[in-house]
Amino acid sequence: MLFCVRMDVSIPRDLDPAEREDTVARERAYSQELQRSGEWAHIWRIVGLYSNISIFDVDSNARLHEILSNLPLFPYMSIEVTALTEHPSAI
Ligand SMILES: O=C(O)CC1=CCC(=O)O1
């Protein structure tokens, strides 16, 4: 199952800098592990924003929910999920 996910990140300005750095490093490691497994198929920066558009290829809605809710930056994100299916004109 393919999903397009937009993540908008908003880390509070008063967050302890060491905690911010640790959270961002854990986010990077977590996402790269999922990219290597193939479940996180693409990640693109949205130009000019602390946001990304990602494509996930997962077995179920529940698996996507598990992945997203375990993101280290999850408490500082708003997330929009769009389920994708094949377009009839796709070749
Ligand atoms: O920087 C972002 O867009 C948030 C993020 C998601 C995965 C990652 O490594 O950073």
Question: Is the CB of residue 7 below 6 angstroms from any atom belonging to ligand 1?
Answer: yes
Residue 91 included in any domain: no
pLDDT tier, 40 (very low <50, low <70, confident <90, very high otherwise): very high
Nearest-angstrom CA–CA distance, 37 and 81: 20
Q: Evaluate whether ipTM surpasses 0.95.
A: yes
Q: Residue 36 contacts by C-beta under 8 Å, 6 or more apart in sequence?
A: none
Provide the residue range defining the domain that includes 60.
2-84
The answer, yes or no, to whether any atom of ligand 1 lies below 6 A from the CB of 63, is: no
Number of domains forming the structure of the chain: 1
- Local confidence band at 34 (pLDDT 50, 70, 90 cut-offs): very high
Instruction: Report H helices in the chain.
Output: 17-37, 61-69
In whole angstroms, what is the distance from residue 12 CA to residue 32 CA?
A: 24
C-beta 28 within 6 A of ligand 1:
yes
Is residue 7 in a domain? yes
pLDDT of residue 45: 98
Tens of pLDDT, residue by residue over 46-65, are 999 999 999 999 999 999 99
